[in-house]
Structure formats: C-alpha cells, structure tokens
C-alpha cells in the first residue's frame, strides 16, 4: 500500500480531528488521540456528514448529524443510529509528519 504524507503533526493538536484530501481517495479524517494518530473515512456511514466536524469523546468520534458514534481506533459503529463501520487506515508519524497507508 502506498504511504502518503497528509499533514504535519504540529497542525493536529492532541484530542483533535481534521479532514484531509488525498487525490484519488475519499476524504479522510485524521485524529490525534494522546499523541497517537489514526485515520478513517471522513463520511459517516449513516448520513452524509463529515466526521471531522464532529466531537471526540474518549476514543470515539461523534457524528454531527445524528450523534451516532464510531470507535476511532477500529472504525466500529458503537453508538446508534450508526450501524455500519467506517473504514480505517494505518497511520503513523514520520519525521514530524502524519503518514497514512492507502490501498492501491
């Protein structure tokens, strides 16, 4: 899988989420949870909402439309009305920048 640099870690404070665009892929949400970085699809599987516009509570992202939630680490839908998981992507910090592995 190709690894793509998406943004500097300094631009994503702990406890925050940001939407990023990578050409040829769906919009991604990138998270910083206590210094660990994660990436998921940005679009909620329940409605057309940007998860990057939602709130982080612990390890969950709360959808801004219907307040359903997903586990940021696994993508699992954990709060109704969300039922379908979101896709996750491996992410890591390399030389101060967040890199995400994307499928070919």
pLDDT, tens digit (0-9, with 9 covering 90-100), for 83-97: 999 999 999 999 999
Q: What is the largest CA-CA distance in the chain?
A: 39
Average pLDDT of the residues in 48-58: 96
CATH topology of domain 3-101: Rieske Iron-sulfur Protein (2.102.10)
User: Residue 89 half-sphere exposure, CB side, CA atoms within 13 Å?
Assistant: 27
DSSP state of 45: S
Query: 19 and 11 in contact (C-beta within 8 Å)?
Result: no
Domain ranges of the chain: 3-101
Q: What CA–CA distance (Å, rounded) separates 73 from 62?
A: 13
With a pLDDT cut of 90, the percent of the chain lying above it is 88
């Amino acid at each position: 899988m190709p690894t793509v640099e998406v943004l500097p870690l300094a631009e994503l404070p702990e406890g925050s989420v940001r939407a990023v665009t990578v050409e040829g892929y769906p919009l991604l949400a990138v998270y910083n949870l206590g210094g660990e970085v994660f990436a998921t699809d940005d679009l909620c599987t329940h409605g057309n909402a940007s998860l990057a516009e939602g709130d982080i509570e612990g390890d969950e992202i709360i959808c801004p439309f219907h307040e359903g939630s997903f586990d940021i680490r696994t993508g699992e839908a954990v709060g109704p009305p969300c039922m379908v998981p979101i896709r996750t992507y491996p992410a890591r910090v390399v030389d101060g920048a967040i890199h995400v592995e994307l499928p070919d």
